[in-house]
């Protein structure tokens, strides 16, 4: 096979990157924006030793999974991977991503429960993060990065976002231009306005946050911009200026200035009132995340009046642990972002919970902590990179009856579950949840139970009450 060669290909599978996949003369060929069942004519764009990339030239025979794409930015913007196939086909693909990861990476044979769909397929996000740039004509615009790039694709109305977010982001760009605020240029590390970040409450009607991320402080125009935003959009209850002067891919900087209103949003998840700061993690598809929390509670089997101790590792603003707190004996939450820990403590108080404590610590060094009880259940909800071995080894050494893992990356979840299976835990069940319809991302919830009695390092546990 050679570059620029035109080949006829049958697409037989979809990779977890969202690429269609077929074999041509024994060679694996990946083609974006194709569907299982497509017969295509494709142009080879890159050839490696055992695989190649191609792009679609002509759809010779369309797959029955195909639907009409309804977003003009699809295929350019790095956000969605599946606007060209039905939601049912997307769910089947995601179910197989999770299964493949556990079988191939984890070598784990277990029960795979059917994937849980999201109620909303579009407009389900409660958070928008849009980079701001300048086009060839020198005009400021906002959009989303192309896949694996920092080229900003202009998007005026993202279908994953509530319409109000599109209105607000368009308004901010228009006002920023009028106020002569410059857009940040990443390559030259010049200019001011970097990102627009919006968040909204879903289960409560109050609470909309607007955060503008800038490269420099002391830009007086932002006070005026904040006033104009809140005058135009009463849904916005606070405007925050976040200052990020670094050359970095990280969106938020350290320093925050409250320009008007409140800096947090107030929402409710699984009946728990939650206050969330801009720097604290908050599940972006609230309704689908509530289904995950309920599944985690079922897996944790805490609905028994025996006062279980739950260690909620990577707890964020405490949402998941607090959703179980009224049925549990004690919740111990651990989280590395100080603002999220403060939110978790305030959320517990607001909920009238006195059996929860939250510790600001790195889960990678959890073995340095003194825990106030021996956990019966450990909840693990790590970021994409998963848990480190040191964390897993320590969790296993605490010998909980159950571990419930929630993961946004099936590959690292499978790797971590494999490790736990070597440490005396059995993977009982895995369920995929679609938290991010139309994108390639998939979440999963895993139940592990202890099969062997391990040595408990009592030196790490104090029995003081909280
Ligand atoms: N369980 C929470 C948050 C899950 S997201 C919820 O459902 O909302 C993962 C969380 O892990 C984030 O809050 C992130 O700040 C935190 N985190 C990332 N690395 C960490 C580490 N090394 N130690 C502790 N927490 C960490």
Q: What is the pLDDT of residues 243-301, one digit of tens each?
A: 999 999 999 999 999 999 999 999 999 999 999 999 999 999 999 999 999 999 999 99
Residue whose Cα lies nearest atom 7 of ligand 1: it is 320
The residue whose C-alpha atom lies closest to atom 18 belonging to ligand 1 is: 383
Q: How confident is the model at residue 456 (pLDDT cuts 50, 70, 90)?
A: low
What ranges do the domains of the chain cover?
A: 6-66, 92-119+285-460, 127-268
From residue 247, alpha-carbon distances to 24, 212, 252, 383 in Å are: 43, 17, 12, 23
Atom of ligand 1 nearest to the CA of 293: 7
Closest to 389 (Cα-Cα) out of 419, 414, 368, 367: 419
% of residues, the chain, pLDDT over 90: 90
Could you tell me the distance, in angstroms and rounded to a whole number, from the CA of residue 362 to the centre of ligand 1? 9
Burial of 443 by CB count in 10 Å (0-12 exposed, 13-18 middle, 19+ buried)? Answer: buried
The residue ranking higher by pLDDT, 187 or 118, is 118
pLDDT digits (tens, 9 = 90+) for 101-147: 999 999 998 999 999 999 999 999 999 999 999 999 999 999 999 99
Query: What is the end-to-end Cα distance of the chain in Å, rounded?
Result: 66
What's the pTM value of the predicted model, to 2 decimals? 0.94
pLDDT score recorded for residue 453: 61
**The CATH number of 6-66 is which of 3.90.550.10, 3.10.20.340, 2.40.50.140, 1.10.10.10?**
2.40.50.140
Q: Which ligand 1 atom sits closest to the C-alpha of 340?
A: 13
CATH number attached to the domain at 92-119+285-460? 3.40.50.150
Ligand 1 probe mutation, 268, 272, 314, 322, most atoms within 8 A of CB = 314
pLDDT band for 207, please (50, 70, 90 cuts): confident
- Structure token pair of residue 49: 């030793």
Q: What is the pLDDT of residues 395-419, one digit of tens each?
A: 999 999 999 999 999 999 999 999 9
**Ligand 1 centre and the CA of 65: distance in Å?**
36
Query: How do strand 309-313 and strand 265-269 relate by DSSP bridges?
Result: unpaired
Active-site residues: which are they?
408
Domain 127-268 matching CATH 2.40.50.1070: the answer reads yes
Binned at pLDDT 50, 70 and 90, residue 388 comes out as: very high
Q: Does 6-66 match 127-268 in CATH topology?
A: yes
- pLDDT of 465 > 60? The answer is no
Beta strands at 402-407 and 443-450: parallel, antiparallel or unpaired: antiparallel
Q: Which two tokens stand for residue 395?
A: 């969790």
Helices (H), 398-454: 410-422
Task: Find the residues whose C-beta lies inside 6 A of ligand 1.
Answer: 281, 283, 314-316, 319-320, 334-337, 340, 362-364, 381, 383
Residue nearest atom 6 in ligand 1 by C-alpha distance: 316
């Amino acid at each position: 096979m050679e570059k620029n060669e035109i080949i006829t290909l049958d697409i037989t599978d979809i990779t977890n990157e969202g690429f269609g996949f077929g074999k041509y003369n024994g060679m694996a060929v990946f083609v974006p924006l194709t569907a299982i069942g497509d017969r295509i004519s494709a142009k080879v764009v890159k050839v490696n030793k055992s695989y190649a990339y191609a792009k679609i030239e002509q759809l010779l025979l369309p797959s029955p999974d195909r639907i009409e794409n309804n977003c003009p930015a699809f295929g350019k913007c790095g956000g969605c991977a599946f606007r060209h196939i039905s939601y049912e086909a997307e769910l089947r693909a995601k179910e197989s991503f999770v299964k493949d990861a556990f079988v191939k990476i984890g070598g784990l044979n277990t029960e795979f429960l059917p994937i849980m769909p999201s109620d909303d397929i579009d407009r389900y996000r409660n958070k928008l993060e849009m980079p701001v740039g300048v086009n060839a004509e020198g005009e400021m615009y906002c959009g989303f990065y192309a896949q694996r790039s920092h080229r900003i694709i202009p998007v005026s109305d993202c279908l994953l976002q509530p319409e109000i977010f599109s209105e607000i982001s368009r308004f901010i760009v228009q006002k920023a231009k009028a106020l002569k605020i410059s857009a940040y240029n990443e390559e030259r590390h010049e200019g001011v306005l970097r990102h627009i970040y919006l968040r909204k409450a879903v289960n409560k009607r109050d609470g909309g946050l607007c955060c503008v991320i800038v490269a420099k402080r002391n830009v007086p125009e932002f006070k005026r911009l904040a006033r104009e935003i809140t005058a135009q959009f009463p849904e916005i209850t606070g405007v925050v200026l976040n200052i990020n002067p670094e050359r970095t891919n990280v969106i938020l900087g350290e320093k925050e200035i409250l320009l008007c209103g409140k800096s947090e949003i107030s929402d409710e998840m699984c009946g728990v009132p939650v206050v969330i700061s801009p720097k604290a993690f908050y599940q972006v598809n609230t309704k689908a995340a509530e289904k995950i929390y309920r599944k985690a509670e079922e897996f944790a089997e805490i609905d028994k009046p025996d006062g279980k101790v739950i260690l909620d590792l990577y707890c964020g603003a405490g949402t998941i642990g607090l959703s179980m707190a009224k049925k549990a004996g004690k919740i111990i939450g651990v989280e590395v972002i100080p603002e999220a820990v403060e939110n978790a403590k305030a959320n517990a108080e607001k909920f009238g919970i006195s059996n929860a404590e939250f510790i600001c610590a790195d889960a990678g060094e959890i073995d340095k902590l003194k825990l106030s009880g021996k956990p019966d259940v450990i909840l693990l909800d790590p970021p994409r990179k998963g848990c480190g071995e040191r964390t897993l080894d320590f969790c296993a050494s605490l010998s909980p009856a159950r571990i419930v893992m929630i993961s946004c990356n099936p590959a690292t979840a499978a790797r971590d579950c494999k490790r736990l299976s070597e440490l005396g835990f059995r993977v009982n069940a895995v369920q995929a949840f679609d938290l991010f319809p139309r994108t390639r991302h998939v979440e999963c919830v895993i139940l592990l139970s202890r099969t062997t009695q391990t040595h408990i390092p009592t030196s790490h546990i104090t029995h003081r009450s909280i």
